[in-house]
Chain A
Amino acid sequence: MLYAILCYHDEDFVGSWSKEQDAAVMKKLAAVQEKLASQGRLGPVARLLPTTAATTLRKENPPLVLDGPYAETKEQLLGFYLVDCQNLDEALETAKELGAANPGGAYEIRPVGMFAPGGAVK
């Protein structure tokens, strides 16, 4: 089953990492991703730009455009993975591995109901 691992973290904190700290975390995460890819379990991965770059469209009539992220939270949605896992246990194991490479914050693990790989975007 395909799981989305949604990454939440305090973006002030992540933004306070030095270039070296950021690179070190990304390198460790890349190692986990490589392992998942070699097992044929890794789907799309995204790291999102800061929530200051976000815009929210409220689907009212007429639609309302708001600056900023949808939810004002202490920790923000900063990225996501799609990973193929046999069950929740395996998904949690994978999330723990990613978490060991990038401590702090939280992962929300959500089973995926429908997935269209797209493919046109490089």
Chain B
Amino acid sequence: MKALPLSEPVMLVVLSLAEQPRHGYSILKDVERMSSGRVMLSTGTLYGALRRLLAQGWIERFAEDESPRDRRVYRLTSRGRRNLQVEVERMRHLTRLATVRVARREA
């Protein structure tokens, strides 16, 4: 799985979709909210990330009935959710390791 580890913006996009299916603008706003305004994606960056996630099968998109023609909704696939679990586990391991090492250094 060459896509891992995820960069912070892509991780935030995936986390945004882990909660519920969203369309592009909603993802932008959610990423901004989750990072307390620290990560503000441009549309070019967002759609670059979405294209790659689509190509790798992490997410899928569909059209909503009442939405305008160009507005598509993205959701995490089961593969994407599995990969996210792996990534979260990796980060958890890293955090545990860092905590132990820092504590050992301070002691």
- A and B from one complex: no
Footprint of A on B, CB under 8 Å?
none
Footprint of B on A, CB under 8 Å?
none
